[in-house]
Protein backbone atom coordinates (compact mmCIF):
# COMPACT_ATOMS: atom_id res chain seq x y z
CA UNK A 1 0.00 0.00 0.00
CA UNK A 2 2.86 2.34 0.90
CA UNK A 3 4.50 1.72 -2.47
CA UNK A 4 1.20 2.24 -4.29
CA UNK A 5 0.76 5.58 -2.59
CA UNK A 6 4.33 6.71 -3.35
CA UNK A 7 3.84 5.92 -7.03
CA UNK A 8 0.44 7.61 -7.05
CA UNK A 9 1.99 10.76 -5.61
CA UNK A 10 4.69 10.76 -8.26
CA UNK A 11 2.15 10.37 -11.05
CA UNK A 12 0.00 13.12 -9.63
CA UNK A 13 2.95 15.46 -9.26
CA UNK A 14 4.14 14.74 -12.78
CA UNK A 15 0.73 15.92 -14.06
CA UNK A 16 1.14 19.14 -12.13
CA UNK A 17 4.71 19.59 -13.36
CA UNK A 18 3.92 18.97 -16.99
CA UNK A 19 0.98 21.41 -17.36
CA UNK A 20 -1.27 18.47 -18.25
CA UNK A 21 -3.22 19.00 -15.06
CA UNK A 22 -3.83 22.69 -15.74
CA UNK A 23 -4.84 22.18 -19.34
CA UNK A 24 -7.19 19.44 -18.27
CA UNK A 25 -8.73 21.62 -15.59
CA UNK A 26 -9.19 24.62 -17.84
CA UNK A 27 -10.66 22.69 -20.74
CA UNK A 28 -12.78 20.39 -18.61
CA UNK A 29 -14.19 23.18 -16.49
CA UNK A 30 -14.63 25.37 -19.55
CA UNK A 31 -16.50 22.71 -21.49
CA UNK A 32 -18.73 21.54 -18.69
CA UNK A 33 -19.34 25.12 -17.56
CA UNK A 34 -20.27 26.26 -21.03
CA UNK A 35 -22.69 23.42 -21.59
CA UNK A 36 -24.21 23.75 -18.14
CA UNK A 37 -24.78 27.50 -18.28
CA UNK A 38 -24.54 28.83 -21.79
CA UNK A 39 -24.94 26.53 -24.75
CA UNK A 40 -27.74 24.35 -26.09
CA UNK A 41 -29.82 22.60 -23.44
CA UNK A 42 -28.42 24.62 -20.55
CA UNK A 43 -30.20 25.13 -17.25
CA UNK A 44 -31.83 28.37 -18.37
CA UNK A 45 -33.30 26.79 -21.43
CA UNK A 46 -34.76 23.77 -19.69
CA UNK A 47 -35.70 26.02 -16.78
CA UNK A 48 -34.90 23.49 -14.11
CA UNK A 49 -32.37 23.64 -11.31
CA UNK A 50 -30.67 20.43 -12.27
CA UNK A 51 -27.16 19.18 -12.78
CA UNK A 52 -28.13 16.82 -15.55
CA UNK A 53 -26.64 18.90 -18.40
CA UNK A 54 -23.40 18.98 -16.45
CA UNK A 55 -23.33 15.22 -16.00
CA UNK A 56 -23.99 14.62 -19.65
CA UNK A 57 -21.11 16.84 -20.75
CA UNK A 58 -18.78 15.51 -18.09
CA UNK A 59 -19.60 12.03 -19.26
CA UNK A 60 -18.46 12.88 -22.79
CA UNK A 61 -15.45 14.98 -21.94
CA UNK A 62 -13.99 12.44 -19.49
CA UNK A 63 -14.25 9.95 -22.30
CA UNK A 64 -11.70 12.03 -24.24
CA UNK A 65 -9.59 13.35 -21.39
CA UNK A 66 -8.84 10.19 -19.52
CA UNK A 67 -7.17 8.27 -22.37
CA UNK A 68 -4.94 11.33 -22.83
CA UNK A 69 -3.94 11.06 -19.17
CA UNK A 70 -3.30 7.36 -19.19
CA UNK A 71 -1.72 6.87 -22.60
CA UNK A 72 1.81 7.48 -21.37
CA UNK A 73 1.62 5.59 -18.13
CA UNK A 74 3.07 2.26 -19.18
CA UNK A 75 3.75 2.79 -22.88
CA UNK A 76 6.23 5.58 -22.39
CA UNK A 77 7.87 3.95 -19.40
CA UNK A 78 8.45 0.90 -21.53
CA UNK A 79 9.77 2.91 -24.44
CA UNK A 80 12.26 4.86 -22.34
CA UNK A 81 13.14 1.92 -20.10
CA UNK A 82 12.12 3.60 -16.85
CA UNK A 83 9.67 0.75 -16.32
CA UNK A 84 12.67 -1.45 -15.68
CA UNK A 85 14.01 0.91 -13.03
CA UNK A 86 10.59 1.07 -11.45
CA UNK A 87 9.89 -2.66 -11.38
CA UNK A 88 13.33 -3.59 -10.09
CA UNK A 89 12.73 -1.40 -7.05
CA UNK A 90 10.92 -2.87 -4.07
CA UNK A 91 7.64 -2.72 -6.00
CA UNK A 92 5.38 -5.42 -7.35
CA UNK A 93 3.73 -5.12 -10.75
CA UNK A 94 0.38 -4.72 -9.07
CA UNK A 95 1.63 -1.91 -6.83
CA UNK A 96 3.01 -0.09 -9.85
CA UNK A 97 -0.27 -0.40 -11.74
CA UNK A 98 -2.51 0.44 -8.84
CA UNK A 99 -0.27 3.41 -8.02
CA UNK A 100 -0.64 4.75 -11.52
CA UNK A 101 -4.37 4.19 -11.37
CA UNK A 102 -4.61 6.07 -8.12
CA UNK A 103 -2.52 8.97 -9.43
CA UNK A 104 -4.83 9.53 -12.38
CA UNK A 105 -7.91 8.98 -10.25
CA UNK A 106 -6.77 11.66 -7.81
CA UNK A 107 -6.36 14.15 -10.61
CA UNK A 108 -9.88 13.44 -11.90
CA UNK A 109 -11.29 13.62 -8.39
CA UNK A 110 -9.66 17.04 -7.93
CA UNK A 111 -11.09 18.21 -11.28
CA UNK A 112 -14.54 17.10 -10.19
CA UNK A 113 -14.04 18.90 -6.89
CA UNK A 114 -13.56 22.11 -8.88
CA UNK A 115 -17.02 21.65 -10.41
CA UNK A 116 -18.71 21.82 -7.02
CA UNK A 117 -19.26 25.61 -7.45
CA UNK A 118 -21.60 24.71 -10.34
CA UNK A 119 -23.63 22.66 -7.89
CA UNK A 120 -23.63 25.42 -5.28
CA UNK A 121 -24.77 28.05 -7.76
CA UNK A 122 -27.51 25.80 -9.09
CA UNK A 123 -28.87 25.39 -5.58
CA UNK A 124 -29.35 29.20 -5.53
CA UNK A 125 -31.56 29.00 -8.59
CA UNK A 126 -34.16 26.66 -7.26
CA UNK A 127 -34.89 23.42 -5.50
CA UNK A 128 -32.32 20.78 -6.41
CA UNK A 129 -32.59 17.06 -6.00
CA UNK A 130 -29.50 16.75 -3.82
CA UNK A 131 -29.56 12.98 -3.78
CA UNK A 132 -29.48 12.89 -7.56
CA UNK A 133 -26.47 15.22 -7.65
CA UNK A 134 -24.38 13.16 -5.27
CA UNK A 135 -25.44 10.08 -7.07
CA UNK A 136 -24.31 11.63 -10.34
CA UNK A 137 -20.94 12.52 -8.87
CA UNK A 138 -20.56 8.98 -7.64
CA UNK A 139 -21.41 7.84 -11.16
CA UNK A 140 -18.73 10.12 -12.62
CA UNK A 141 -16.13 8.80 -10.21
CA UNK A 142 -17.00 5.23 -11.03
CA UNK A 143 -16.98 6.01 -14.73
CA UNK A 144 -13.57 7.66 -14.38
CA UNK A 145 -12.19 4.64 -12.58
CA UNK A 146 -13.52 2.55 -15.43
CA UNK A 147 -11.90 4.69 -18.14
CA UNK A 148 -8.61 5.01 -16.27
CA UNK A 149 -8.35 1.24 -15.92
CA UNK A 150 -9.16 0.73 -19.58
CA UNK A 151 -6.58 3.40 -20.47
CA UNK A 152 -3.90 1.76 -18.36
CA UNK A 153 -4.68 -1.57 -19.96
CA UNK A 154 -4.39 0.01 -23.43
CA UNK A 155 -1.12 1.62 -22.38
CA UNK A 156 0.24 -1.73 -21.29
CA UNK A 157 -0.28 -3.22 -24.73
CA UNK A 158 2.14 -1.04 -26.67
CA UNK A 159 5.22 1.08 -26.22
CA UNK A 160 3.77 3.88 -28.32
CA UNK A 161 1.66 6.40 -26.37
CA UNK A 162 -0.30 7.46 -29.45
CA UNK A 163 -1.25 3.87 -30.18
CA UNK A 164 -2.23 3.55 -26.53
CA UNK A 165 -4.43 6.64 -26.85
CA UNK A 166 -6.19 5.30 -29.94
CA UNK A 167 -6.65 1.88 -28.38
CA UNK A 168 -8.11 3.43 -25.26
CA UNK A 169 -10.52 5.52 -27.36
CA UNK A 170 -11.50 2.42 -29.29
CA UNK A 171 -12.23 0.51 -26.12
CA UNK A 172 -14.01 3.57 -24.78
CA UNK A 173 -16.19 3.99 -27.87
CA UNK A 174 -17.16 0.35 -27.71
CA UNK A 175 -18.41 0.58 -24.16
CA UNK A 176 -19.77 4.05 -24.61
CA UNK A 177 -21.64 3.74 -27.79
CA UNK A 178 -21.25 0.65 -29.94
CA UNK A 179 -22.43 -1.82 -27.31
CA UNK A 180 -25.41 0.46 -26.69
CA UNK A 181 -26.31 0.46 -30.38
CA UNK A 182 -25.84 -3.29 -30.61
CA UNK A 183 -28.10 -3.81 -27.63
CA UNK A 184 -30.93 -1.93 -29.33
CA UNK A 185 -30.42 -3.70 -32.65
CA UNK A 186 -29.86 -7.27 -31.55
CA UNK A 187 -32.83 -9.30 -30.36
CA UNK A 188 -33.04 -11.58 -27.35
CA UNK A 189 -30.04 -12.71 -25.32
CA UNK A 190 -27.51 -10.94 -27.53
CA UNK A 191 -29.31 -7.65 -27.00
CA UNK A 192 -29.46 -8.17 -23.25
CA UNK A 193 -25.77 -9.06 -23.19
CA UNK A 194 -24.74 -5.84 -24.94
CA UNK A 195 -27.20 -3.87 -22.84
CA UNK A 196 -25.30 -5.18 -19.83
CA UNK A 197 -21.91 -4.32 -21.37
CA UNK A 198 -22.85 -0.79 -22.38
CA UNK A 199 -21.40 1.74 -19.94
CA UNK A 200 -23.85 4.46 -20.90
CA UNK A 201 -26.84 2.40 -19.77
CA UNK A 202 -25.24 1.98 -16.37
CA UNK A 203 -24.22 5.61 -16.13
CA UNK A 204 -27.56 7.10 -17.24
CA UNK A 205 -29.46 5.62 -14.38
CA UNK A 206 -26.91 6.98 -11.92
CA UNK A 207 -27.02 10.43 -13.49
CA UNK A 208 -30.78 10.39 -12.95
CA UNK A 209 -30.20 9.63 -9.28
CA UNK A 210 -30.80 5.92 -9.10
CA UNK A 211 -28.12 3.93 -7.34
CA UNK A 212 -28.40 0.33 -8.29
CA UNK A 213 -25.80 -1.99 -6.81
CA UNK A 214 -25.61 -3.73 -10.18
CA UNK A 215 -24.32 -0.53 -11.80
CA UNK A 216 -21.75 -0.01 -9.07
CA UNK A 217 -20.60 -3.59 -9.36
CA UNK A 218 -20.47 -3.26 -13.13
CA UNK A 219 -18.04 -0.32 -13.03
CA UNK A 220 -15.92 -1.69 -10.21
CA UNK A 221 -15.56 -5.15 -11.67
CA UNK A 222 -14.70 -3.94 -15.17
CA UNK A 223 -12.12 -1.55 -13.72
CA UNK A 224 -10.58 -4.34 -11.73
CA UNK A 225 -10.62 -6.64 -14.72
CA UNK A 226 -8.80 -4.11 -16.90
CA UNK A 227 -6.15 -3.54 -14.23
CA UNK A 228 -5.66 -7.27 -13.82
CA UNK A 229 -5.25 -7.62 -17.57
CA UNK A 230 -2.68 -4.81 -17.54
CA UNK A 231 -0.80 -6.61 -14.77
CA UNK A 232 -0.93 -9.82 -16.77
CA UNK A 233 0.48 -7.97 -19.76
CA UNK A 234 3.39 -6.75 -17.62
CA UNK A 235 3.96 -10.22 -16.22
CA UNK A 236 4.15 -11.51 -19.77
CA UNK A 237 7.74 -10.25 -19.93
CA UNK A 238 8.75 -13.14 -17.68
CA UNK A 239 7.54 -15.70 -20.15
CA UNK A 240 8.50 -15.03 -23.71
CA UNK A 241 8.66 -11.50 -24.86
CA UNK A 242 12.13 -10.39 -25.93
CA UNK A 243 10.83 -7.08 -27.22
CA UNK A 244 9.42 -6.15 -23.86
CA UNK A 245 12.46 -7.30 -21.98
CA UNK A 246 14.64 -4.93 -23.90
CA UNK B 1 26.05 -10.71 0.46
CA UNK B 2 27.00 -13.30 -2.15
CA UNK B 3 25.43 -14.03 -5.50
CA UNK B 4 25.15 -17.65 -6.58
CA UNK B 5 24.01 -18.47 -10.09
CA UNK B 6 23.31 -22.10 -10.83
CA UNK B 7 22.68 -23.49 -14.31
CA UNK B 8 20.82 -20.39 -15.35
CA UNK B 9 19.05 -20.59 -18.70
CA UNK B 10 16.85 -18.13 -20.55
CA UNK B 11 15.21 -18.83 -23.87
CA UNK B 12 13.37 -16.41 -26.13
CA UNK B 13 11.29 -18.62 -28.35
CA UNK B 14 13.83 -21.00 -29.82
CA UNK B 15 16.80 -18.75 -29.16
CA UNK B 16 18.91 -19.45 -26.08
CA UNK B 17 19.99 -16.07 -24.80
CA UNK B 18 21.59 -17.52 -21.68
CA UNK B 19 22.65 -21.12 -21.85
CA UNK B 20 23.29 -22.97 -18.61
CA UNK B 21 25.69 -20.59 -16.88
CA UNK B 22 26.90 -20.91 -13.30
CA UNK B 23 29.07 -18.57 -11.30
CA UNK B 24 29.49 -17.04 -7.88
CA UNK B 25 30.35 -13.56 -6.71
CA UNK B 26 31.53 -12.86 -3.18
CA UNK B 27 31.16 -9.79 -1.01
CA UNK B 28 33.80 -7.19 -1.75
CA UNK B 29 34.38 -8.53 -5.22
CA UNK B 30 33.93 -6.52 -8.40
CA UNK B 31 33.02 -8.83 -11.24
CA UNK B 32 33.47 -7.64 -14.80
CA UNK B 33 30.89 -9.17 -17.06
CA UNK B 34 32.30 -9.16 -20.54
CA UNK B 35 31.05 -10.22 -23.91
CA UNK B 36 30.15 -9.01 -27.37
CA UNK B 37 26.79 -7.35 -27.92
CA UNK B 38 23.99 -9.86 -27.70
CA UNK B 39 26.01 -12.36 -25.70
CA UNK B 40 23.48 -12.51 -22.88
CA UNK B 41 24.98 -10.04 -20.39
CA UNK B 42 21.94 -7.82 -20.14
CA UNK B 43 19.57 -10.77 -20.00
CA UNK B 44 21.51 -12.25 -17.09
CA UNK B 45 21.42 -8.94 -15.27
CA UNK B 46 17.69 -8.57 -15.80
CA UNK B 47 17.21 -11.99 -14.23
CA UNK B 48 19.47 -11.19 -11.28
CA UNK B 49 17.46 -8.04 -10.59
CA UNK B 50 14.09 -9.84 -10.74
CA UNK B 51 12.96 -7.94 -13.83
CA UNK B 52 12.61 -11.13 -15.83
CA UNK B 53 12.11 -14.72 -14.88
CA UNK B 54 14.63 -17.34 -15.92
CA UNK B 55 13.59 -20.32 -18.02
CA UNK B 56 15.66 -22.65 -15.88
CA UNK B 57 18.21 -22.79 -13.08
CA UNK B 58 18.45 -20.84 -9.84
CA UNK B 59 19.80 -17.52 -8.71
CA UNK B 60 20.42 -16.89 -5.04
CA UNK B 61 21.17 -13.50 -3.60
CA UNK B 62 22.36 -14.06 -0.06
CA UNK B 63 19.88 -16.58 1.27
CA UNK B 64 17.02 -15.52 -0.97
CA UNK B 65 15.91 -17.05 -4.20
CA UNK B 66 15.37 -14.49 -6.94
CA UNK B 67 12.26 -16.14 -8.32
CA UNK B 68 10.61 -17.13 -5.05
CA UNK B 69 11.27 -14.01 -2.99
CA UNK B 70 11.64 -11.04 -5.30
CA UNK B 71 10.51 -8.51 -2.65
CA UNK B 72 13.32 -9.64 -0.33
CA UNK B 73 15.88 -9.65 -3.10
CA UNK B 74 15.02 -6.25 -4.57
CA UNK B 75 15.60 -4.56 -1.21
CA UNK B 76 19.28 -5.54 -1.36
CA UNK B 77 19.97 -4.71 -4.98
CA UNK B 78 20.95 -1.44 -6.56
CA UNK B 79 20.54 -1.61 -10.30
CA UNK B 80 21.58 0.68 -13.11
CA UNK B 81 19.98 -0.69 -16.29
CA UNK B 82 21.45 -0.36 -19.75
CA UNK B 83 21.13 3.17 -21.21
CA UNK B 84 20.37 4.55 -17.75
CA UNK B 85 16.64 5.27 -18.12
CA UNK B 86 15.45 8.19 -15.98
CA UNK B 87 12.32 10.31 -15.58
CA UNK B 88 13.60 13.31 -17.50
CA UNK B 89 10.88 15.66 -16.30
CA UNK B 90 11.72 15.19 -12.62
CA UNK B 91 14.21 17.29 -10.67
CA UNK B 92 17.20 15.31 -9.37
CA UNK B 93 16.35 15.56 -5.67
CA UNK B 94 12.70 14.73 -6.19
CA UNK B 95 13.62 11.67 -8.22
CA UNK B 96 16.12 10.43 -5.66
CA UNK B 97 13.58 10.97 -2.88
CA UNK B 98 11.04 8.98 -4.86
CA UNK B 99 13.44 6.07 -5.30
CA UNK B 100 14.54 6.21 -1.65
CA UNK B 101 10.94 6.06 -0.44
CA UNK B 102 10.14 3.24 -2.83
CA UNK B 103 13.10 1.27 -1.56
CA UNK B 104 11.79 1.60 1.96
CA UNK B 105 14.34 4.03 3.38
CA UNK B 106 12.67 5.29 6.59
CA UNK B 107 11.24 8.75 6.04
CA UNK B 108 13.35 10.30 8.79
CA UNK B 109 16.55 9.03 7.22
CA UNK B 110 15.81 10.16 3.68
CA UNK B 111 17.32 13.68 3.99
CA UNK B 112 20.65 12.48 5.44
CA UNK B 113 20.85 9.68 2.93
CA UNK B 114 20.15 12.10 0.11
CA UNK B 115 22.80 14.52 1.29
CA UNK B 116 25.48 11.87 1.49
CA UNK B 117 24.68 10.29 -1.86
CA UNK B 118 24.43 13.63 -3.66
CA UNK B 119 27.83 14.56 -2.29
CA UNK B 120 29.36 11.21 -3.10
CA UNK B 121 28.15 11.27 -6.68
CA UNK B 122 29.16 14.90 -7.19
CA UNK B 123 25.64 16.15 -7.86
CA UNK B 124 25.61 19.04 -5.43
CA UNK B 125 25.46 21.81 -8.01
CA UNK B 126 22.89 20.05 -10.17
CA UNK B 127 20.52 18.71 -7.55
CA UNK B 128 17.68 21.16 -8.22
CA UNK B 129 17.79 20.86 -12.00
CA UNK B 130 15.48 18.68 -13.99
CA UNK B 131 17.17 15.45 -15.02
CA UNK B 132 16.39 16.23 -18.65
CA UNK B 133 18.52 19.36 -18.41
CA UNK B 134 21.63 17.48 -17.29
CA UNK B 135 24.54 16.39 -19.45
CA UNK B 136 25.10 12.72 -20.08
CA UNK B 137 27.81 12.47 -17.45
CA UNK B 138 25.59 13.95 -14.78
CA UNK B 139 22.67 11.77 -15.79
CA UNK B 140 24.96 8.79 -15.32
CA UNK B 141 25.72 10.00 -11.83
CA UNK B 142 22.02 10.32 -11.12
CA UNK B 143 21.64 6.74 -12.34
CA UNK B 144 24.36 5.60 -9.97
CA UNK B 145 22.90 7.66 -7.15
CA UNK B 146 19.47 6.06 -7.55
CA UNK B 147 21.11 2.63 -7.51
CA UNK B 148 22.99 3.47 -4.30
CA UNK B 149 20.37 5.45 -2.42
CA UNK B 150 19.17 2.61 -0.19
CA UNK B 151 22.72 1.44 0.56
CA UNK B 152 22.30 -1.93 -1.16
CA UNK B 153 24.58 -4.88 -0.52
CA UNK B 154 24.67 -5.70 -4.20
CA UNK B 155 25.24 -3.37 -7.08
CA UNK B 156 24.47 -4.38 -10.63
CA UNK B 157 25.57 -1.97 -13.33
CA UNK B 158 24.84 -2.55 -16.99
CA UNK B 159 27.42 -0.66 -19.03
CA UNK B 160 27.84 2.17 -16.55
CA UNK B 161 30.32 4.20 -18.60
CA UNK B 162 28.93 4.15 -22.13
CA UNK B 163 28.80 7.56 -23.70
CA UNK B 164 30.96 9.29 -21.12
CA UNK B 165 34.07 11.30 -21.90
CA UNK B 166 37.44 9.96 -20.64
CA UNK B 167 37.48 12.17 -17.53
CA UNK B 168 34.00 11.12 -16.56
CA UNK B 169 34.88 7.49 -17.16
CA UNK B 170 37.77 7.74 -14.72
CA UNK B 171 35.55 9.41 -12.12
CA UNK B 172 32.83 6.79 -12.41
CA UNK B 173 35.39 4.01 -12.25
CA UNK B 174 36.92 5.42 -9.10
CA UNK B 175 33.47 5.69 -7.59
CA UNK B 176 32.73 2.07 -8.45
CA UNK B 177 36.07 0.92 -7.03
CA UNK B 178 35.41 2.75 -3.81
CA UNK B 179 31.89 1.40 -3.48
CA UNK B 180 33.07 -2.07 -4.42
CA UNK B 181 35.20 -2.37 -1.31
CA UNK B 182 32.29 -3.26 0.92
CA UNK B 183 29.70 -4.42 -1.60
CA UNK B 184 29.23 -7.08 -4.21
CA UNK B 185 29.42 -5.51 -7.64
CA UNK B 186 28.69 -6.89 -11.07
CA UNK B 187 29.36 -4.58 -13.97
CA UNK B 188 28.96 -5.35 -17.60
CA UNK B 189 30.92 -3.71 -20.35
CA UNK B 190 32.59 -4.34 -23.63
CA UNK B 191 35.35 -1.87 -22.97
CA UNK B 192 38.33 -3.97 -21.99
CA UNK B 193 40.58 -1.42 -20.30
CA UNK B 194 37.63 -0.70 -18.06
CA UNK B 195 37.63 -4.22 -16.73
CA UNK B 196 41.35 -4.16 -16.11
CA UNK B 197 41.02 -0.86 -14.31
CA UNK B 198 38.10 -1.74 -12.08
CA UNK B 199 37.47 -5.43 -11.73
CA UNK B 200 38.90 -8.12 -9.49
CA UNK B 201 37.50 -10.85 -11.63
CA UNK B 202 36.41 -11.25 -15.21
CA UNK B 203 33.69 -13.39 -16.65
CA UNK B 204 33.59 -13.59 -20.41
CA UNK B 205 30.34 -14.74 -21.90
CA UNK B 206 29.66 -15.54 -25.54
CA UNK B 207 26.44 -16.75 -27.12
CA UNK B 208 24.97 -17.35 -23.71
CA UNK B 209 27.84 -19.47 -22.41
CA UNK B 210 30.70 -18.66 -20.08
CA UNK B 211 33.95 -18.94 -22.00
CA UNK B 212 36.36 -17.61 -19.40
CA UNK B 213 36.35 -16.90 -15.69
CA UNK B 214 39.27 -15.59 -13.68
CA UNK B 215 41.38 -12.62 -12.62
CA UNK B 216 42.79 -10.43 -15.39
CA UNK B 217 46.24 -11.93 -14.66
CA UNK B 218 45.11 -15.53 -14.83
CA UNK B 219 43.30 -14.87 -18.08
CA UNK B 220 46.39 -13.33 -19.53
CA UNK B 221 48.39 -16.40 -18.59
CA UNK B 222 45.80 -18.58 -20.29
CA UNK B 223 46.62 -16.90 -23.54
CA UNK B 224 50.38 -17.31 -23.05
CA UNK B 225 50.69 -20.39 -25.22
CA UNK B 226 51.88 -18.09 -27.94
CA UNK B 227 53.92 -14.96 -27.46
CA UNK B 228 53.76 -11.68 -29.31
CA UNK B 229 56.83 -9.64 -30.12
CA UNK B 230 57.45 -6.20 -31.47
CA UNK B 231 60.39 -6.44 -33.83
CA UNK B 232 62.18 -3.78 -35.80
CA UNK B 233 64.90 -4.66 -38.28
CA UNK B 234 66.96 -2.62 -40.68
CA UNK B 235 67.96 -4.41 -43.87
CA UNK B 236 71.06 -3.39 -45.86
CA UNK B 237 70.23 -1.26 -48.87
CA UNK B 238 69.54 -3.24 -52.01
CA UNK B 239 68.45 -6.48 -50.37
CA UNK B 240 64.77 -7.55 -50.58
CA UNK B 241 62.33 -6.58 -47.82
CA UNK B 242 62.31 -8.82 -44.75
CA UNK B 243 58.58 -9.54 -44.53
CA UNK B 244 58.56 -12.78 -46.51
CA UNK B 245 61.76 -14.00 -44.86
CA UNK B 246 60.30 -13.40 -41.42
CA UNK B 247 57.13 -15.29 -42.33
CA UNK B 248 59.25 -18.24 -43.39
CA UNK B 249 61.08 -18.46 -40.07
CA UNK B 250 60.36 -21.51 -37.89
CA UNK B 251 58.01 -21.02 -34.95
CA UNK B 252 56.40 -17.94 -36.50
CA UNK B 253 52.64 -18.06 -36.63
CA UNK B 254 51.82 -14.61 -37.94
CA UNK B 255 53.57 -11.49 -39.05
CA UNK B 256 51.76 -8.21 -38.97
CA UNK B 257 53.33 -5.27 -40.77
CA UNK B 258 52.84 -2.19 -38.61
CA UNK B 259 51.60 0.69 -40.70
CA UNK B 260 53.61 3.89 -40.96
CA UNK B 261 56.61 2.40 -39.17
CA UNK B 262 59.00 1.00 -41.78
CA UNK B 263 60.72 -2.20 -40.75
CA UNK B 264 58.54 -2.69 -37.66
CA UNK B 265 56.47 -5.86 -37.22
CA UNK B 266 54.25 -7.55 -34.71
CA UNK B 267 55.14 -11.21 -34.79
CA UNK B 268 53.22 -14.00 -33.11
CA UNK B 269 55.35 -17.02 -32.37
CA UNK B 270 54.47 -20.25 -30.62
CA UNK B 271 57.43 -20.12 -28.25
CA UNK B 272 59.29 -17.47 -26.34
CA UNK B 273 63.06 -17.93 -25.78
CA UNK B 274 63.78 -20.28 -28.71
CA UNK B 275 62.15 -17.81 -31.07
CA UNK B 276 64.18 -14.89 -29.78
CA UNK B 277 67.41 -16.82 -30.20
CA UNK B 278 66.64 -18.02 -33.68
CA UNK B 279 65.53 -14.59 -34.80
CA UNK B 280 68.72 -13.06 -33.50
CA UNK B 281 70.90 -15.65 -35.25
CA UNK B 282 68.96 -15.24 -38.46
CA UNK B 283 69.44 -11.47 -38.42
CA UNK B 284 73.17 -11.90 -37.86
CA UNK B 285 73.39 -14.32 -40.74
CA UNK B 286 71.52 -11.96 -43.07
CA UNK B 287 73.47 -8.98 -41.78
CA UNK B 288 70.27 -7.28 -40.68
CA UNK B 289 70.35 -4.86 -37.80
CA UNK B 290 67.98 -5.92 -35.06
CA UNK B 291 66.80 -2.58 -33.64
CA UNK B 292 64.03 -3.82 -31.40
CA UNK B 293 62.86 -7.08 -29.91
CA UNK B 294 60.19 -6.57 -27.26
CA UNK B 295 57.83 -9.11 -25.89
CA UNK B 296 54.38 -7.64 -25.85
CA UNK B 297 52.22 -8.28 -22.84
CA UNK B 298 49.40 -10.55 -23.93
CA UNK B 299 46.51 -8.18 -24.12
CA UNK B 300 43.01 -8.81 -22.93
CA UNK B 301 41.72 -7.72 -26.33
CA UNK B 302 43.49 -10.65 -27.92
CA UNK B 303 42.16 -13.10 -25.39
CA UNK B 304 38.70 -11.65 -25.76
CA UNK B 305 38.82 -11.89 -29.53
CA UNK B 306 40.16 -15.45 -29.41
CA UNK B 307 37.42 -16.54 -27.06
CA UNK B 308 34.49 -14.83 -28.69
CA UNK B 309 35.18 -14.97 -32.40
CA UNK B 310 34.86 -18.68 -33.08
For B77-108, the pLDDT digits (tens) are 999 998 899 999 899 999 999 999 999 899 89
CA distance A67 to chain B (A): 20
pLDDT at A4: 95
Residues of the domain holding A76: 2-245
* Contact with chain A for residue B46, Cβ under 8 A: yes
Q: Return the top range by mean pLDDT from A5-9, A234-238, B123-127, B291-295.
A: A5-9
Contact between B213 and B200 (Cβ < 8 Å):
no
Domains B3-221 and B225-297 share a fold: no
pLDDT at A242: 55
Res. B71: pLDDT tops 50: yes
Residue B56, classed as helix, strand or coil, is strand
A80 vs A20: CA distance, rounded Å: 20
Res. B22: pLDDT tops 90: yes
Walk across the sheet containing B3-12 and list its strands. B15-25, B3-12, B56-61, B64-65
Within chain B, strands assigned E span 3-12, 15-25, 30-34, 56-61, 64-65, 77-80, 154-158, 184-189, 201-206, 209-214, 227-234, 252-257, 264-269, 289-296
pLDDT at A202: 85
pLDDT at A243: 55
pLDDT at B8: 92
* Contact with chain B for residue A192, Cβ under 8 A: no
A90·B74 Cβ contact <8 A: yes
pLDDT (mean) for B254-274: 81
Nearest Cα to Cα of residue B160 among B188, B201, B131, B126: B188
Reading chain A (246 residues) residue by residue, the pLDDT tens digits are 889 999 999 999 999 888 888 888 899 999 888 887 777 666 677 777 778 888 888 888 898 899 999 999 999 999 999 999 999 999 999 999 999 999 999 999 999 999 999 888 888 888 888 888 888 899 999 999 999 999 999 999 998 999 999 999 999 999 888 888 888 888 888 888 888 888 888 888 887 778 888 889 999 999 999 999 999 999 988 886 555 544
CA distance B293 to chain A (A): 49
pLDDT at B185: 92
pLDDT at A240: 65
The domain spans of chain B are 3-221, 225-297
Collect all residues with Cβ–Cβ distance below 8 Å to A108 and sequence separation of at least 6.
Answer: A62, A66, A69, A141, A144, A148
* Contact with chain B for residue A130, Cβ under 8 A: no
Residue B270, classed as helix, strand or coil, is coil
Q: Which of A135-139, B138-142, B154-158, B258-262 is predicted least confidently? A: B258-262
* A interface test, pick of B102, B106, B152 with most A CB neighbours within 10 Å: B102
pLDDT digits 0-9 by tens, B194-233: 788 888 899 989 888 898 888 887 777 666 667 788 888 8
**Mean pLDDT over each residue of chain B, to the nearest integer:** 86
pLDDT at A245: 45
CB pairs under 8 A between A and B: 72
CA distance B51 to chain A (A): 6
CA B59 to chain centre: 21
A209 vs A117: CA distance, rounded Å: 19
Contact between B91 and B131 (Cβ < 8 Å):
yes
CATH topology of domain B225-297: Alpha-Beta Plaits (3.30.70)
- Chain B segment 276-305 residues within 8 A of A by beta carbon are none
Contacts of B149 in chain A (CB under 8 A): none
B86·A90 Cβ contact <8 A: no
Collect all residues with Cβ–Cβ distance below 8 Å to B201 and sequence separation of at least 6.
Answer: B25, B29, B30, B31, B32, B213, B214, B215
B229 vs B294: CA distance, rounded Å: 5
A197 vs A203: CA distance, rounded Å: 11
pLDDT at B143: 92
Please identify, in words, the CATH class of the domain defined by B3-221: alpha beta
Say whether pTM exceeds 0.90: no
B124 vs A11: CA distance, rounded Å: 26
For the purposes of burial, counting CB atoms within 10 Å of the CB of B81, is it exposed (0-12), middle (13-18) or buried (19 or more)?
Answer: buried
The per-type count for chain B, helices as H runs and strands as E runs, is 11, 14
Amino acid sequence: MRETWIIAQREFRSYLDSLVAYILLVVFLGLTGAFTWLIMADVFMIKQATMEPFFNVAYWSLFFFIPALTMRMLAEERRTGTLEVLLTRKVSDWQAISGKFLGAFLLIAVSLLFTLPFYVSITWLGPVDHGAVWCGYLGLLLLSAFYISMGIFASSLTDNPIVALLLALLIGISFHWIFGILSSVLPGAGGRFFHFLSASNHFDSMARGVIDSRDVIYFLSFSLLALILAEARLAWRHVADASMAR
Amino acid sequence: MDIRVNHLTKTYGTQRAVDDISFEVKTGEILGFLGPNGAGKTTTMKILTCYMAASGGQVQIGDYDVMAQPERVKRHIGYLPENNPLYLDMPVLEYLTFVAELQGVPRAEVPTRLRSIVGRCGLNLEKHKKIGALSKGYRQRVGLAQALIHDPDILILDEPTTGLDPNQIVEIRNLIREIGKEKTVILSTHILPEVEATCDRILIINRGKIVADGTPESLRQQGEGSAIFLVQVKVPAGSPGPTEALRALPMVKAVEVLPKQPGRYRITADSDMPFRESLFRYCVKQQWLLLELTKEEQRLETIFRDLTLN
